[in-house]
Every structure is written in C-alpha cells, then in structure tokens.
Amino acid sequence: MQLFRSHVLVCGGTNCTFANSEKIIAAFDKNLVENKLENEVKIVQTGCFGLCEEGPIIVIYPEGTMYFKVDVKDVQEIVQEHLLKGRLVSRLLQQSSEAVEGEYAIEKSSFFKKQMRVALRNCGVINPELIDEYIAFDGYKALGKALTEMKPMEIIKTIKDSGLRGRGGGGFPTGTKWEFAAKQDNEQKYICCNADEGDPGAFMDRSVLEGDPHSVIEAMAIAGYAIGANYGFIYVRAEYPIAVKRLQIAIDQAKAYGLLGDNILDTGFKFDLEIRLGAGAFVCGEETALMTSIEGKRGEPRVRPPFPAVKGLWQKPTILNNVETLANIPVIMLKGSEWFASMGTEKSKGTKVFAVGGKINNTGLIEIPMGTTLREVIYDIGGGIPDGKKFKAAQTGGPSGGCIPASHIDTPIDYESLIELGAMMGSGGLIVMDEDTCMVDIAKFFLEFTVDESCGKCNPCRLGTRRMMEMLDKITKGKGVMSDLDELENLAKDIKASSLCALGQTAPNPILSTLRYFRDEYEAHIRDHKCPAGSCKALLAYEVIEEKCVSCGLCAKNCPVNAITGSKKEKIPFVIDQDICIKCNVCFEKCPAEAIKK
Amino acid sequence: MNRNASGCMKKDGKDHLVEEIIARHKNSNGALIPVLHEVQDLYGYLPAEAQAKVAKEMNVPISEVFGVISFYSHFALKPKGKFKISICMGTACYVKGAGPILDKLKENLAIGIGETTADGQFTLEECRCLGACGLAPVLTVNGKVYGRLTKDDVTGIIDDCKRDEEEIVQ
C-alpha cells in the first residue's frame, strides 16, 4: 500500500460542492503534479465536516489543520506554504473571535469540542466512494460479527438494550420494532430505509448518505438477518443527486465484494437492496405512505394497525428505519449496547444529529450527546447569533414541531423534554430565530407548507390546515379578531385528534407552540395592528424620525417609488408618503443614522 | 417550432426509448414511478402521449398513471422554460429572507410560481430545502447554484441567463 506524508481532505458534501469544492480538488491535483508532490500528498474527497457556513472546508492531516472558505485561487498558496514549507496559511484559519492563537486543530475548535460523532463517525473522514476506506475504519466488521457469531435474537437484544430510538422523529425503540417483525411467520419480509428527508432546513440524513453510505447498507443487511428479510429498499429524495450517486456506487461495490447478494461472507445469508427515488411528496416520509409509494402508487397513508411490522410493503412484514438510526447500528454492534447506553439521558440514549440553521453564526451539521442544552448548541457550538441580535426561539421538528423560547434555553435536549415543551425532536432540523423573526409569520410559513403537502385523503388535514392558514393570513394582515385565537386553538386540537396520519396529527403543532409562548405577538397583530418583530409587511408603516434624521437624502435617492420627499438645502424635513410607500425596506437599510422606524 | 405542440411525439423517434425504459423495469415490483422518472428525463416533462404509452405498455389504466403523476410534485405535465429558476423555500432560507427575493423574481419576470414566461425562457419554481443552508438564501438556475443572495442580486442573475442565451445564439 502506498503511504503518503500528508492527506488533504476536501469536503464533498452538498453545501461545499455547491460552493465549488470539486474545482478545488481539480486545482490540488494540478498543483501537486506541478510541484512533484503527487506521491507524497493524497487528496481525499470526503463527506460533510459539518461547518457548512464556512465552506468549502479542507482539512490537512496529520496536523489536523482546518482551512475555511477556501477558494480555487487559494490552492496554490496552500500547496506552496503548508505542504511544501510547513507554514500555516493563517488567513484561512477560523477567524471567529473565540479562536485562540494556535488552536487550529480540528478536534480543538470550539465547533467540534462539545460534539460527539457516532452516526457521523466517518463523515469528513473517509472517501465515501471507496469501500476499502470504509472497511479500514471497521466497516462491515459488525455484519461479519452478526452473521458468524450471533443469533438473530441476540442482535435484537443488543439493539433493545442499547436504548436506540428512531431518529426520524417518532422516537420508537428500534429493537422493539425489529422484534415485532422478527416474530412474524412469513417467508417474505422487507427492510426499508427512510431517506425521504422532507423537513425544510434539515439535511442530516443526506449528509450521512453522502459521507458514509456503507454504514446504512451494512445496517440494513444486519437488520435483514435479525428479522429474517432478504430484500431492502432505500427510499431517497430525488432532490439529493450526490447522495443517490454515492449510494448507488456503494451498493455496487458491496455487491462486488460479496457483502450484498447471495451467500454473504459464505454464511448462506442472502440480502439485496435497491434505491427507489421519491418524487417530491412530503407525506411519503410517513411510513405507510412511503410503502405505498414504493409499490408504485399515489403515496397516501393508510390506517394503522395493522402496523408495517405485521403488514407492510405488499402486505408483508416490513420494518422502516431512518438513515441516522441505521448509521448507529454497526457501532452499537461492535462497541456493545452498554457503551451506547452510557451516552445520553435516562430515556434518550446515544447522540443526535442536528442541522442547525437560520440566524446563527455556524450554520451546519452537528452531533451531540442527548441531554446537551440548547444554550450549548447555540452559543458554544453554533457561535451565537449574528450581528449581536437577541436569541428569540429555536424551532425543532420542522412543520410537525414547535419552538423552544429563550426562557427554556437551558433545557437539556432529549425526546421527553422537547415533547414537554410542546416541540419535538423531529428528524433534527433546528432553526434559530432572532428578534427580527415574527412568530405568527413562522407559524404561517409552516402551515403553508402542510397545506401544500397534505395528501388530501382525510378531511381534517385537507380542510382543517387550510382553514388554520387562512386565519393566520388574516392575522398577519391585521384583519384578525381576538376570538380567532380560541378558534385556532380549538381547530388545532380537533385536527390533531382526528387526522389519519402523522402529517395531519402534527400539522397544528407550530401554531399551538407559538400560541403557547408568543400569544402576546398574536395579540399585538390583532389588537394593536402591529408586528412586534417588524416583519409582517401589511402592518408596517415606515416613518422618518425627525430628531435623528441628518437630511442626507439617501433614503429619497434610493426609494424605488419616490415616496420620500424633503431637502437639506431648502430645510424641508424628509417624510414618507404612506399612500405611495410599498414597504420595500430600502430606506431602512440605507439610512446611516438609524432615523427610519417601522 | 412550438414546443407545446402535442403532435410532436410520434415524429420525434422517442417512442422506442419509452419502450426500452419499460422493458428494463419489467421484472421489478412497483416500477411505475421509476419508469415515470426516466420518461420525464427523456422529455423534460410527461406529455399526454407518453403517459398513454406507459399505461398501455405496463398494462395499468391511464387514470392510475395520471393519478400518480398529479400526486407527485416532481412530475410535470407542461414543458419547462429554458432557464429553470428554483428558489429554496426551506426554513433556513425563509428566515434569512428568501421571501423578498422571490417577490423580486416574480416582479422582474412578471410570472408567478410554477409559471413559464410567454417566450418560453424562464420557469419560476419554489423548491423544498436543498440542504445548502450554509449558503442561505439559495436559488438554482438549471442546477447552477447562487448562494448568500440579497434581493439586489436578482436582476444580475436574470441578466446572466439572458447573456448566456445571446452567446448561444451568436
């Protein structure tokens, strides 16, 4: 095997690929050849490192130096300085105020220090397109152990004892689900992987598929052996082209190595799987709808019971696990259930991956032990809120979830604590909001989403969500009445109780949660016709504060509809004509003296 | 030639390609959706004739084929413009101001979401989270990504497309 003195890891996740990381790799290849380093330094395209905000990211080992926002034109300097002369390119190191001099090594950076990477263990470490790299990091060892040393019931016991719960949102104990399916007496059973990650602002599963696809394939084979299934489907969003490509490469490689197919590792166990592409229907993330979709039909959910573990795909016993859940399986098999259960809180074991976004400095992907507080996530790992703004709330669980207000920022994050707060773990999207975010508008945003994505099969969801959205729309336009709030609450409770599937049952959560913590904002919209966050256009009125105005005229010059008049020379004060104003916010943005209020 | 003309299907020689796609999926359970994905890749959308062909060859009622197509937002019944502008409406992009950018796009192109300009040049679409939240707000034009946008960037992006178009013509 060829040895290299240095490895340059270049992030090939979606965010960094969008930000040109493939061209960076090409530039490295060219520069290494020019400097005759191609036999000393190896370039590796990896999965996501997590710090998407600062992408494209590269890490150079053995030092573990992490360079941020690398541009194609920086490559030559990195090769010349770092790789040839051994000097840091300090301008590309993390520039945040907390970055202590010399603290550049990846493990020591504030972003990674509090994280614990279990499901993401190989993301940003190996080349996901090479099975040998996965195997070198103990890949397929767990499958080997399962097939040669363990009985199916022992595997199920291990998973049950570990306390692993579904990471897709519901939090159902994985081992128990497997046990149900294993007990079914049926020749044909199926394993499905839910990679139809639909929550807006969530990209955990995509990052696992892009960065470590073999871990999911290995886990599905283990699950197949445990419940007696020999075929699997991975249902993945068509919007994830990089993930689909790497997954297909991984499946082909696993087949070529005899790790999928007939007689795996000479044990007589047969397991095969294929990818099925979603087609842009959010409801297909619901388990019964997903299975109907794999069957080639309209992805509508159906009544449970019977549960899929009894009658699933084509009426055969089927288990459906989320990508992140599966990514945990091989490590649990190798390190044992006690190791896994030692992390986390009493009822929520292990770690959870979150996609942190919105008004936060370090947008990206993080993995933390269950029980970490929201404060640690936002301030220690996330680097706080940009522009010195105030933290208002964090939204988890997407359109099915709710928000955690600033007053609960010290709550340890686990399944139970979030439910108690009226939010939910969800699949792991965590959107941070600051004082400029209007909570009524956010509730409306999620309702628009569910109205759009409701499949239409059951009344409460199809009609009810639309009625709720209309009421919210009325409120954001200043046309609401106080009784709307009680009506909203009643309707929300009815929809929760009577919808067929989880989409409808959880659709009212964003409203209930914002009503619980930000009722005053709703009331301000209705009673005072004011949007406290200054976000709902219909309720804004831009005005010039005369005392602060320096009569520079920038507002009038930039106003696209000439709604602002005034003159410094003639000492006419600047005023905004409310009838002409289109509330485009330009004057507010351009004013150097903060003399425009809204 | 009018891209919307429905009679073009028989003459364009893609008929046998549809047959090939179906033949490849013959032995697979629940193949309708994978087949439709590939047929759409072929045409850019799913013309009525192609739907009929799929129904006949796969022996499923055409109503079922249409039912599946209309259920999933990925499947299109109408041809798209030359430049497909998709703006991400994921939560991270929304919180960071995708709304005003969308308004500006609508204004500049004078079309609504899901519509195509009369000259067949631009289609405007909202899309679900692209997962590029580090670049929020984000839009793509035929897959090319524009990130960290403000509404002032909109005119430039549309001009970029028009310039590309002129270069091709020249």
CA-to-CA separations, A472 to A493, A514, A536, B95, in angstroms, rounded: 16, 12, 12, 18
Strands of the sheet with A261-264, listed across from one edge: A261-264, A269-277, A231-236, A190-195, A318-322
Mutate to test the interface with B, among A71, A203, A400 (most CBs of B within 10 A): A203
CATH placement of domain A351-434: 3.10.20.600
pLDDT over 60 (residue A104): no
Query: Could you tell me if B22 lies within 8 Å of chain A, comparing CB atoms?
Result: no
- The number of angstroms, rounded, from the C-alpha of A138 to the middle of its chain's C-alpha atoms is 26
pLDDT at residue number A460:
96
Q: pLDDT digits over B22-77, tens only?
A: 999 988 999 999 999 999 999 989 999 999 999 999 999 999 999 999 999 999 99
**A105's tokens:** 């090594």
pLDDT at residue number A466:
97
Average pLDDT over residues A321-337: 97
Cα distance from A101 to chain B (closest Cα, Å)?
25
Q: How far apart are CA A1 and CA A107, in angstroms?
A: 28
Residue holding tokens 């969500």? A465
CATH placement of domain B83-169: 3.40.30.10
Write b or e for each residue in A455-465: b if 16 or more Cβ atoms lie within 10 A of its Cβ, otherwise e. Answer: bebbebbeebb
**A596's tokens:** 């425009």
Residues on chain A touching B30 (C-beta within 8 angstroms): 276, 294-297
Q: Considering just the CA atoms, what is the radius of gyration of chain B in Å?
A: 18
pLDDT at residue number A97:
42
Residue of chain A whose alpha carbon sits nearest to that of B99: A445
Say how many C-beta atoms besides its own lie within 10 A of residue B75's C-beta: 20
- Contact at CB, B29 and A295, closer than 8 angstroms: yes
Residue holding tokens 């524009």? B146
Across the A:B interface, residue pairs with CB atoms under 8 Å apart total 134
**B101's tokens:** 């950018």
Q: How far apart are CA B30 and CA B35, in angstroms?
A: 10
Contact A535, A438 (CB under 8 A): yes
Residues on chain B touching A195 (C-beta within 8 angstroms): none
Residue holding tokens 């009226």? A422
pLDDT at residue number B3:
45
- The number of angstroms, rounded, from the C-alpha of A470 to the middle of its chain's C-alpha atoms is 29
What does the DSSP 8-state code read for residue A173?
B
Write b or e for each residue in A179-209: b if 16 or more Cβ atoms lie within 10 A of its Cβ, otherwise e. Answer: bbbbebeeeebbbbbbbbbbbbbbbbbbbbb
pLDDT at residue number A7:
94
pLDDT tier at A12 (50, 70, 90 boundaries)? very high
Fold of A131-341: Rossmann fold (3.40.50)
Q: pLDDT digits over B110-128, tens only?
A: 999 989 999 999 999 988 8
pLDDT at residue number B143:
81
Among A564, A570, A560, which Cα is nearest to A543's?
Answer: A564
Q: How far apart are CA A30 and CA A12, in angstroms?
A: 18
pLDDT over 80 (residue A102): no
Q: pLDDT digits over A343-378, tens only?
A: 999 999 999 999 999 999 998 999 999 999 999 999
Contact A159, A174 (CB under 8 A): yes
Residues on chain A touching B90 (C-beta within 8 angstroms): 200-201, 357
Mean pLDDT of the residues in chain A: 93
Average pLDDT over residues A331-345: 97
pLDDT tier at A173 (50, 70, 90 boundaries)? very high
Cα distance from A223 to chain B (closest Cα, Å)?
22
pTM across the whole model = 0.91
pLDDT tier at B1 (50, 70, 90 boundaries)? very low
A31 against A95, higher pLDDT:
A31
Q: At what angle do helices B98-109 and B154-169 cross, to 10 degrees?
A: 40
Average pLDDT over residues B152-164: 89
- In CATH, A6-109 is 3.20.20.140: no
For residue A363, give the nearest of B67, B74, B134 by CB distance.
B134
pLDDT over 50 (residue B149): yes
Average pLDDT over residues A526-551: 92
Strands of the sheet with B144-146, listed across from one edge: B122-127, B83-88, B139-141, B144-146
**Helix, strand, coil content of chain B in percent (nearest 5):** 50, 10, 40
CA-to-CA separations, A86 to A6, A83, A272, A301, B12, in angstroms, rounded: 11, 6, 48, 59, 60
Collapsing DSSP to helix, strand or coil, A328 comes out as: helix
Any idea how long chain A is? 598
Contact A14, B133 (CB under 8 A): no
Helix ranges (H only) for A421-547 are: 439-453, 459-476, 483-498, 502-506, 509-527
Any idea how long chain B is? 170
Domain spans, chain A: 6-109, 131-341, 351-434, 439-527, 541-597
pLDDT tier at B168 (50, 70, 90 boundaries)? low
- CATH class in words for A541-597: alpha beta
pLDDT at residue number A313:
97
- Contact at CB, A445 and B91, closer than 8 angstroms: yes
Average pLDDT over residues A197-209: 90
Residues on chain A touching B34 (C-beta within 8 angstroms): 276-277
**A126's tokens:** 């190996």
Helix ranges (H only) for A212-308 are: 213-227, 241-256, 287-294
Contact A233, A457 (CB under 8 A): no
pLDDT tier at A101 (50, 70, 90 boundaries)? very low
Average pLDDT over residues A88-98: 73
pLDDT over 80 (residue B170): no
pLDDT over 80 (residue B166): no
pLDDT tier at A98 (50, 70, 90 boundaries)? very low
pLDDT tier at A96 (50, 70, 90 boundaries)? low
Residue of chain A whose alpha carbon sits nearest to that of B70: A298
CA-to-CA separations, A59 to A35, A87, A104, A106, in angstroms, rounded: 20, 14, 10, 8
pLDDT tier at A106 (50, 70, 90 boundaries)? low
Domain spans, chain B: 8-71, 83-169
Contact B119, B111 (CB under 8 A): no
For residue A296, give the nearest of B33, B94, B135 by CB distance.
B33
ipTM: 0.88
pLDDT over 90 (residue A100): no
Helix (H) / strand (E) containing B57? helix B48-58
pLDDT at residue number B5:
43
**A492's tokens:** 């929300």
pLDDT tier at B6 (50, 70, 90 boundaries)? very low
What does the DSSP 8-state code read for residue A358?
E
Average pLDDT over residues A534-544: 90
- The number of angstroms, rounded, from the C-alpha of A416 to the middle of its chain's C-alpha atoms is 20
Residues 6+ apart with CB under 8 A from A80: A35
- CATH class in words for A439-527: mainly alpha
pLDDT at residue number B169:
63
Residues 6+ apart with CB under 8 A from A361: A53, A96, A382, A383, A384, A385, A386
pLDDT over 70 (residue B9): no
Q: How far apart are CA A286 and CA A278, in angstroms?
A: 12
Q: How far apart are CA A306 and CA A309, in angstroms?
A: 8
According to DSSP, the β-strands at A572-576 and B122-127 are: unpaired
Average pLDDT over residues A286-301: 96
